[in-house]
Homo-oligomer: A and B are copies of this chain.
Amino acid sequence: MPSPLPSRNRGPKPTKVDPDHLLDAAQAVFAEEGLRAASLRAIARRAGCDPALIYYHFASKEALFLALMNRRFPALLRDIEKLAEPTDLRPTALRLWDVLLIYHRHLKDDPGIRALIRGEIVRGAEGLSHLIEDQIRPMVGSIQRIFEQGIARGEVRPGVQPLLATFFLAKMQLEILDVLPAVLPLLTELPPEGAVLTGMRAWLEVLWRGVALDASAPLPTLPSPLD
């Protein structure tokens, strides 16, 4: 008999493990563990395959994470960019609310991408820097433009710095998506359900009053997300 013992379950599976399925598993694990703590073995377990298979489809753990980002970012970026078009003449407060809703829609199921935006990049992998260049910077630019247009239209007071206002808007939205539901039950007896929407509304009200030319003008009615 041959010295390497004949293991029968190698070779292709009846149903292929396509890269997208791997990405799904990776997204789930990155979401729970964070970029650094997520292990390829855990991802493989989730996907129902061997860790080595990941290396057949992706060059490294970092490349896997990058592919994950490249799957999500373009659609998010496109939606934000569409919102920033100068032909959109709706009230600025409504457009900002739409920014929050778009974030909510695209990111609510993907804490991994949120962690990336939040700044895991900063000391994280180097290979992600052109992702900032190509995707995050234009996104920030678009939101910034909404504020600038708001100033030009006499809705936002001229003293407001668009870049900082964008920073405030985006950062707080991430905190609301991530931290508010987790932290609210710790501090009060309130259940976490509805916390995100409550937080978003309260946040936009504060931000808008802080930024509007006429702070006492009422907010337009804000539509709820449809999902």
Contact = CB atoms under 8 A, between A and B. Distances in A.
A146 B157 CA distance: 28
Contacts of A134: none
A180 B203 CA distance: 19
A175 B167 CA distance: 9
Contacts of A178: 119
B182 A163 contact: no
A32 B123 CA distance: 9
Interface residues of A, number: 42
Contacts of A182: 119, 122
Interface string A206-219: 11111100011000
B205 A210 contact: yes
27 contacts: A34-B36, A36-B36, A36-B37, A118-B179, A119-B179, A119-B183, A132-B186, A137-B186, A137-B187, A140-B187, A160-B206, A163-B187, A164-B199, A167-B175, A167-B180, A167-B199, A168-B172, A168-B203, A171-B172, A172-B175, A175-B175, A205-B210, A206-B211, A209-B209, A209-B210, A210-B215, A216-B216
Complex A-B, nearest 7 residue pairs according to Cβ-Cβ distance, in ascending order: A215-B215, A206-B210, A210-B210, A209-B210, A171-B175, A122-B182, A164-B202
Interface of A: 32, 34, 36-37, 118-119, 122-123, 132, 137, 140, 160-161, 163-165, 167-168, 171-172, 175, 178-180, 182-183, 186-188, 198-199, 202-203, 205-211, 215-216
